[in-house]
Structure 1
Amino acid sequence: QAFVEAEGFILVAPDSRGPTWDVIRREYGPDVEFIDQALSWIFERYAVDPEHIAIGGFSDGASYGVSLGISNGDLFTHVLAFSPGFAAPAEQHGEPQVFVSHGTQDMVLPIDPCSRRLVPRLQAVGYDVLYREFDGPHTVPTEIAREAVQWFLAAPRS
């Protein structure tokens, strides 16, 4: 478990228990358990605003973040997805706000079958999505990462 705390912002960055996230290979399992343990550890030690919790990731991690964020929208108020390929939520709870970015030159997870399909699907079922395309490859440009964090931090709190 790695985390950084600065100005009231805590970032938890768990890794998958295998070569990639469990749902991508089969079904939810050890990765969800590990994330639950990491969040419990943080919640026990820090004052976390339950009305302002995000999940996110890049690439397969973005797909996993969108999937868990939708499945656990009663916990996660925001989802930050950088170059996601898909969403595979177990179910749909709550209404987290969603930030998605994707490079138009992405050759790993091409934008057309990925974010350009995912974003309209999320919007069609009622999610508030801020979508940013950028001219670039399979990466997270600094300005996009900065915008995503500012978007999350600026979101109204209950």
Structure 2
Amino acid sequence: MVTKRGKYSTGRITTKPGKPTGRAGVATGVQPLGLDSQKDGFIYVPPGYDSSKPAALAVMLHGAGAPATQGLSLLQPYADAHNIILIAPAARAYSWDIIASDAFGPDAIYLDQALALAFDTYAIDHQQLAIGGFSDGASYALCLGLTNGDLFTHVIAFSPGFAYTLQTRGKPAVFISHGVDDPVLPIAPCSRRIASQLRRQGVALKYTEFAGGHEIPAAISASAVAWFAPAQH
């Protein structure tokens, strides 16, 4: 695994989409990324994937202390109907680098490698390229999504705590949801503050509050998917 941390110190992703050069579409379903023998993540490719019909791609990040499969589960129920390929990385530490060590580095590197693998193997719709997550994963998705708005077209943040950037490129559309009774990440200093900041910056924002706690009701996740990737027919 590449460990040139300094190159990623601002959270910038270096990989760019392009035409796949690998064996596009051979493997479908859930597969390990194969990027780390100790702490790997997963990729999910819908069984109906067709390289002649580029798929949306969503990188989905787990909450603090959770496994990579939590990230996968956030959108997997909708992936087949909406032609979405999912990448679910595992954080290098208990949470994502900017949270665990107060600096971008190992996780940005790992995500860059995961994206390179996907771009090299599968036909991806460059206009439907999201990063998202839940809780700490949502916070990190906002950090990397806003930093790399020239790559990610959408950010999906379920109950985030903060958004931090050292630099920004582009302006991805942002979806934020949060429970009004969240006891883990209270809504006022978290999503309401983030939403206010993004509106001042002119970011296209879909913001939803719901009756509930630190969770993602099915109606909320379905709304996020419909916003990001309309169903394929």
Pair in the same fold by TM > 0.5: yes
> TM-score scaled to structure 1, two decimals?
0.95
Question: Residue 130 of structure 1: SS of its match in structure 2?
Answer: strand
Cα distance between partner residues in 1 of 2:99 and 2:89: 16
Residue 27 of structure 1 pairs with residue 27 of structure 2: no
Match of 2:197 in 1: 121
Deviation at 1:146, TM superposition (A): 0.8
Question: Residue 50 of structure 1: SS of its match in structure 2?
Answer: strand
Q: Quick one: which of 225, 229, 232 aligns to 1:149? A: 225
Using CA pairs under 8 Å that are at least 6 residues apart, name the structure with larger relative contact order, 1 or 2.
2
Question: Residue 128 of structure 2: SS of its match in structure 1?
Answer: coil
Cα distance between partner residues in 2 of 1:31 and 1:19: 11
Question: Residue 140 of structure 2: SS of its match in structure 1?
Answer: helix
Residue 4 of structure 1 pairs with residue 44 of structure 2: yes
Q: Relative to structure 2, which stretch is displaced further, 4-13 or 45-54?
A: 4-13
Match of 1:109 in 2: 185
Q: Relative to structure 2, which stretch is displaced further, 6-15 or 85-94?
A: 6-15
Between structure 1 and structure 2, the one with the greater Rg is 2
Q: Unaligned 5+ residue runs, structure 2?
A: 1-40, 47-79
Residue identity over aligned pairs, in percent, reads: 50
Task: State the number of aligned residues.
Answer: 155
Cα distance between partner residues in 1 of 2:158 and 2:44: 20
Deviation at 1:51, TM superposition (A): 2.0
> TM-score scaled to structure 2, two decimals?
0.65
1:83-108 CA distance string (max 9 Å, x none): 00000112111010000000011000
Cα distance between partner residues in 2 of 1:19 and 1:28: 15
Question: Residue 52 of structure 1: SS of its match in structure 2?
Answer: strand
Deviation at 1:3, TM superposition (A): 2.0
Residue 73 of structure 1 pairs with residue 113 of structure 2: no
Cα distance between partner residues in 2 of 1:108 and 1:47: 38
